[in-house]
Amino acid sequence: MASSTTPAAGKAPPALLDLTIDNITPNTVRINSQSSDARLTYLMARLVSHLHDFARETRLSSDEWMAAIGFLIGCGQISNDVRNEFILLSDVLGLSLLVDNINHPKPPLGTEGSVLGPFHTHDAPTLPNGSSMTSDPEGEPMLAICTVKDTHGNPVAGVKIDIWETDSSGHYDVQHADRGDPSERCVMESDEQGRFWFKAIKPVPYPIPHDGPVGKLLQMLSRHCWRPAHVHFMFGKQGWDQLVTALYLRGDPYETSDAVFGVKQSLIIDLGKVDKTTAEAYGVAEGAWLLKHDFVLTTQEETEKLRDQLAVDALRKLGLRLKLVDHLPVPDLD
Amino acid sequence: MASSTTPAAGKAPPALLDLTIDNITPNTVRINSQSSDARLTYLMARLVSHLHDFARETRLSSDEWMAAIGFLIGCGQISNDVRNEFILLSDVLGLSLLVDNINHPKPPLGTEGSVLGPFHTHDAPTLPNGSSMTSDPEGEPMLAICTVKDTHGNPVAGVKIDIWETDSSGHYDVQHADRGDPSERCVMESDEQGRFWFKAIKPVPYPIPHDGPVGKLLQMLSRHCWRPAHVHFMFGKQGWDQLVTALYLRGDPYETSDAVFGVKQSLIIDLGKVDKTTAEAYGVAEGAWLLKHDFVLTTQEETEKLRDQLAVDALRKLGLRLKLVDHLPVPDLD
């Protein structure tokens, strides 16, 4: 019985006995509060309190509990290198949107964020400006001409931009069992004028993967599983707040019922058509779809300051006595 | 795009746009409230509210969110037919205890419940009274002589009793990679006098499986992973409330720090020693350990009545306007 898992000698854990509906919460919080990590202690205390309150408020039945256990197991087991059912669950429950908004608040001039979703990969090819990121002959050709600027209107050069969308059938490359090279995804870099441009296809609405536990849940909830047509963008550069966003096409049938809550009015765009001059300049066919957009990044410093301020305001409003340590709330015991 | 996943014609989902930290919760609840299942709607509303409140109160960081996603994936992927990491997680967070107490309240005379744990199986052999359920020559022999009665002291015959414990090394049979036939587990039936008796081994304390995500969590929390020595019992008979319980040995080093919160004073027992007469009567060695216990079952009807009453009282105390439908709370909209 002497083992590394035996508690440290000299420090007995709190005594627990005869736990009931009414005393289980403070006792669980107590036994979870033995580490020196104040942030972990706080996270666990709030997690356990909410979990227990949920069970008490719903008088959760044993059958419902077992169904939830089975649901969670199913989410884990359907996940793999290119599918993450728990991110999908977080998306359809609005948690992803919430966490993104908490962590990446935007000042009035900054481009708003949107959900990352489960289909970003790390194997997209880095392509020079003007390249085509599509290999789908069925897609409607679309030229994208974009800029990246700061909140003062100055171009930001050298930003790595991950771009990804589905093919014309509404599937990301990773959803095809016979996926070869990455397709409908690339990484570009903004030039000295903050510009980047590429050839893609007009995005189409598509259902999120609904052959797993999350799809079944949506069906039980009488919710559809569609996302409106969009192109994903992720902007990264040292010193700048990472921007995860997407542009949505106006008039999409799912514009106001995105299954993962990603649409913001400021991210809805109208596509134009490529005119003769542009067609010649960019080497595309006249009359192809044209996406033009100016993205605005915020610095890491201004975002951090804004995030801290919003956190302090929100926690005060919630009546919680907390302080920020490394920008994250912990109980203020001083 | 016409597909079975398209929403039913004629009933548009609620319009969602520009979701923020402040409006995401009511909107998620709204879109989750389209089914005709009032219980499901209520469960989802409370789940989403608590999940979002948790993120808001902690200002959950993107890294923490991603760590949680990875943790959940890990729990799903280490689970298999004989290992359920999510039940283990529920156990160490006190949720299993809570759900059991909510669903199986006991009147003063009924035997208290204890956590089921993840090691009950459905392949244990049904053995006649007096049989041995152990195949472990290293264990210290223990004779168990028990009765099952009702709250009036009348014997209850024909109760199926699942009994399981670890071997002397502190492992359930299913934890051995080379598991053959079930061992240290059986199903017995109470006789006309409500008696059942069997040969087993003296239980030993043991660590819950700590080579997975739950074990890592306990380590991060500076919690040990031990359970005090115990034998599991599960009683089932038509018309009687299923009793899942366990008996714990007094004086165990983990008596007041069970990693899964299962110990109740009324379930702590002292082992005796088998005397000569008993040894001869039951065919065991004199001086072997002796476990004697009288279990008291409650009827399904009295438990259901008690559960409903406790639910109504608790919900009133919480200030929630709910009614019970099929014994489960839903909003009272009348």
Gap from A60 CA to chain B (nearest CA, Å): 6
pLDDT at A82: 80
What contacts A104, CB < 8 A, 6 or more positions away? A113, A241, A242, A243, A244, A303, A307, B62
* pLDDT for position B8: 46
- The stretch B248-260 carries a mean pLDDT of 96
- Chain centroid to Cα A83, Å, comes to 14
The residue-averaged pLDDT of A283-299 equals 97
Q: Is the dihedral of CA A50, A55, A56, A57 positive or negative?
A: positive
B86·A100 Cβ contact <8 A: no
Residue B127 has pLDDT above 80, yes or no: yes
Q: What is the pLDDT of residues B16-26, one digit of tens each?
A: 999 999 999 99
Q: What is the pLDDT of residues A126-154, one digit of tens each?
A: 999 999 999 999 999 999 999 999 999 99
Q: Are B114 and B245 in contact (CB under 8 A)?
A: yes
Please report the pLDDT score of residue A11 as a whole number. Answer: 63
Q: What is the C-alpha separation between B114 and B248, in angstroms, rounded? A: 10
Comparing CB atoms, the residue among B12, B64, B103 nearest residue A43 is B64
Is it the case that residue A213 has pLDDT exceeding 60? yes
All residues of chain B having their beta carbon less than 8 Å from the beta carbon of residue A40 are 220-221
Tell me the pLDDT band of A180, cut-offs 50, 70 and 90.
confident
Tokens read off for A75: 């989410």
User: What's the pLDDT at A32?
Assistant: 97
Residue A177's pLDDT is 83
pLDDT, average across residues A102-116: 94
Q: Identify which of A17, A86, A221 has the shortest CB distance to residue B265.
A: A17
Question: What pLDDT score was predicted for residue A334?
Answer: 64
In tens, the pLDDT along B305-330 reads 999 999 999 999 999 989 999 999 99
Average pLDDT value over all residues in chain A: 93
Q: Is the pLDDT of residue B60 over 60?
A: yes
Sort strands B243-249 and B328-331 into parallel, antiparallel or unpaired.
unpaired
Sign of CA dihedral B172, B178, B183, B186: positive
Q: What is the pLDDT of residue B11?
A: 63
Domain range list for chain A: 85-298, 307-334
Distance between CA atoms of residues A221 and A215, nearest Å: 10
CA gap A213, B265 in Å, rounded:
40
CA–CA dist A115, A258 (Å, integer): 11
Name the band, by pLDDT with cuts 50, 70 and 90, for residue A1. very low
Q: In the predicted model, is pLDDT for residue A7 greater than 80? A: no
CB contact under 8 A, A69 and B84: yes
Mean pLDDT of A209-229: 96
CB pair distance less than 8 Å for A222 and B98:
no
Write the CATH number of the domain with boundaries A85-298: 2.60.130.10
Q: Indicate the range of A255-269, A320-334, B9-23 predicted with least confidence.
A: B9-23
Q: How confident is the model at residue B190 (pLDDT cuts 50, 70, 90)?
A: very high
* A59–B314 C-beta distance less than 8 A: yes
Model pLDDT, residue B113: 95
A128: closest CA of chain B, how far (Å): 30
Which of the residues B1, B5, B241, B243 would you substitute to probe the A interface, choosing the one with the greatest number of A C-beta atoms within 10 Å?
Answer: B5
What distance in Å separates residue A26's CA from the closest CA in chain B? 10
What number is the average pLDDT over the span A207-218? Answer: 96
Is B102–A60 a contact, with Cβ atoms under 8 angstroms apart?
A: yes
What does the pLDDT read at residue B118?
80
Report, in angstroms and rounded to the nearest whole number, the Rg of chain B calculated over CA atoms. Answer: 24
Of B16, B48, B76, which has the smallest distance from its Cβ to A77's Cβ?
Answer: B76
Of B21, B36, B311, the CB nearest to A59: B311
**Is B62 in contact with A100 (Cβ distance < 8 A)?**
yes
Q: A4-18, A64-78, A259-273, B78-92: which range is least confident on average?
A: A4-18
pLDDT exceeds cutoff 70 at A52: yes
Q: pLDDT at position B334, please? A: 64
pLDDT, position A164: 97
pLDDT band for position A83 (cuts 50, 70, 90): confident
The terminus-to-terminus CA distance of chain B in angstroms comes to 40
- Interface contact flag, A93 B225, Cβ < 8 Å: no
**CB atoms A24 and B101 under 8 Å:** yes
Nearest by CB to residue B52, choosing from A46, A74, A94, is A94
- pLDDT of residue B167 exceeding 70, the answer is yes
Mutate to test the interface with B, among A20, A27, A32 (most CBs of B within 10 A): A32
- The answer, yes or no, to whether residue B5 has pLDDT greater than 50, is no
Mean pLDDT within A236-264: 96
The whole-model pTM stands at 0.92
Kindly state the percentage of chain A with pLDDT values over 70: 96
- pLDDT of B12 over the 80 cut: no
Instruction: For residue B307, give how far its alpha carbon lies from the nearest alpha carbon of chain A (Å).
Output: 9
